[in-house]
Amino acid sequence: MATADAGVQSADAVAGSTRPSGNVDTAPLADAPRRSAGERRVDAYNFRQPRIFSHDQIRLLNYVHDAFARGLSVFLSDRLRTIVEVRVDAIEQLSYAQYVSSCKKPTALFVAEEAALGHKMVFEVDPLFILFNLEKSLGGEGNAASHARHLSRIEQRFMSKILVRIMDELSSAWGEIATMKFHETNFESNAEFIQIIPGTEPVLVSRFRLIAFSTEYYFNVCYPYLMLRQAVGRTGIKQWLSRSKRDVDANIRDQYTHHLGETQVELRAELGRARLSLGDVKNLQQGDVIPLQTDSKDPINVFIADQLFCSGRIGKVGRHMAVGVSVVKNRDSNE
């Protein structure tokens, strides 16, 4: 017992020796990184909603859904005989409960299952787009409905047939990474009645904008994380990266080089700049001289289109004015 007390006293003594005495101010915690440059930078981390997808996986998911948006745009434009633009609006990581609370009421929710992976997902379609689609398919002008409403069984069956083709487009977009086949299982107009996974489980929501006749509609795809973890594993990422980086055929490369070499671009040399008041500009007449802010010996900027390409100096070649290139801009730089 005495030994324990001695140990405590010894520890207090050591702690007291390291403590500043008097009214000496201690350095704030925020200054700690400046005092120890070797420490690593601390990144913010949300323990309630951690990021579960790596940069490679996000890049892969963006690639898949961009391809899906292009295929869906072609299909809908052909079906509706008008231009339908499909854009990827956002790819969000949420909990399933957050996704359910974000769904509008009423909406059109088609639950689909991927047979090979054994997981269910949700296709959320704007009811106004379904009504627009139905009217165009039946020969109408496609006037936008004023407000969303619950769909009838006939309208649900009509959209289910279109959804088969939409799911085929999504399967095709996933084709380079994983083989996926989707089939519809049920329909709901209220997201609270659909429980494909527990509310705390993470999901990935791909949000799209469908634009037809300058009217915007929404279209969302909700994937469970467990489904994507199986589909977008390390093997799938490596296969996709290896395909995207494969060598181009020599003949195709030569054709690209030839055609790009023959492409004409505008090259513009900026001799200098001047600032004038609006009154001076208004009073300009033929023969007036505008002094520039640069000296004749200063380097000038040379642009290709609107991008700064290099700097140079003014000179002459024979009877022609010329610009001698002195410094080429680093094209890998973001400056």
The CATH number for 137's domain is: 3.40.1550.10
Q: What is the pLDDT of residue 335?
A: 44
Would 238 be classed as within a structural domain? Answer: yes
Q: State mean pLDDT over 165-180.
A: 88
Mean pLDDT of the chain: 79
Structure confidence at residue 136 (pLDDT):
85
Let me know whether 218 and 97 are in one domain: yes
Whether the CB-CB separation of 100 and 203 falls below 8 Å is answered with: no
Q: Which of 244, 268, 284 is the last residue of a domain?
A: 244
pLDDT at 3: 45
Residue 217 confidence class, pLDDT cut points 50, 70, 90: very high
Of 7-21, 115-129, 137-151, 165-179, least confident by mean pLDDT is 7-21
Residue where a domain terminates, one of 244, 267, 286 = 244
Kindly indicate the confidence band of residue 109, based on its pLDDT and cuts at 50, 70 and 90: very high
Let me know whether 166 and 310 are in one domain.
Answer: no
Q: Are strands 307-317 and 320-328 parallel, antiparallel or unpaired?
A: antiparallel
Q: 176: domain range?
A: 55-244
Do the domain assignments include residue 3?
A: no
Residue 214 shares a structural domain with residue 134:
yes
120 and 233 both lie in a single domain = yes
CB 209 within 8 A of CB 182: no
Residue range 170-196: average pLDDT? 89
Domain end, chosen from 210, 244, 278, is at 244
Is residue 7 pLDDT above 50, yes or no?
no
Percent of the chain scoring above 70 in pLDDT: 77
Please give the Cα distance from 288 to 281 (Å, whole number).
11
Stronger pLDDT, 189 or 56, i.e. the higher one: 189
pLDDT > 90? residue 266: no
Judgement on whether residues 208 and 304 belong to the same structural domain of the protein: no
Q: How far is CA 12 from the centre of its chain?
A: 55
Residues 86 and 217 in one domain: yes
Question: What are 284-295's pLDDT values in tens digits?
Answer: 889 888 888 877
Instruction: Tell whether 260 is covered by a domain.
Output: no
| Residue 277 forms part of a structural domain | no
Give the pLDDT score at 50: 57
Mean pLDDT of 228-247: 60
Residue 321 within any structural domain of the chain: yes
Supply 32's token pair: 């700690």
Residue 247 to residue 243: CA distance in whole angstroms:
9
Average pLDDT of 116-128? 90
Q: Do the domain assignments include residue 259?
A: no
Do 182 and 121 form a contact (C-beta atoms < 8 A)? Answer: yes
Q: How many domains does the chain have?
A: 2
**Mean pLDDT, residues 37-53 taken together:** 58
Distance CA 203, CA 96 (A): 6
Q: Which residues of 29-54 are buried (b: 16+ CB within 10 A; e: fewer)?
A: eeeeeeeeeeeeeeeeeeeeeeeebe
Is there a single domain that holds both residue 190 and residue 320?
Answer: no
Given pLDDT bands bounded at 50, 70 and 90, which one contains residue 144?
Answer: low
Q: Please check whether residues 219 and 70 belong to one and the same domain.
A: yes
Q: Is 288 within a domain?
A: no
Question: Mean of the pLDDT values across residues 222-239?
Answer: 73
Same domain, yes or no, for 187 and 308? Answer: no
DSSP-assigned beta bridge partners for residue 311:
301, 327
| Distance in angstroms (rounded) separating the CA atoms of residues 249 and 76 | 34
Instruction: Give the pLDDT mean for 272-288.
Output: 88
Note whether 162 and 306 are same-domain residues: no
Predicted TM-score (pTM) above 0.85 = no
Confidence class for position 46, pLDDT limits 50, 70, 90: low
**65 and 214 belong to one structural domain:** yes
Q: What is the pLDDT of residue 20?
A: 45
Residue 5 resides in a domain: no
pLDDT tops 50 at residue 211? yes
Task: Decide which of 72 and 149 is more confident.
Answer: 72
In tens, the pLDDT along 66-90 reads 999 999 999 999 988 888 999 999 9
Q: Establish whether the linkage from the previous residue to 198 is cis, with ω within 30° of 0.
A: no
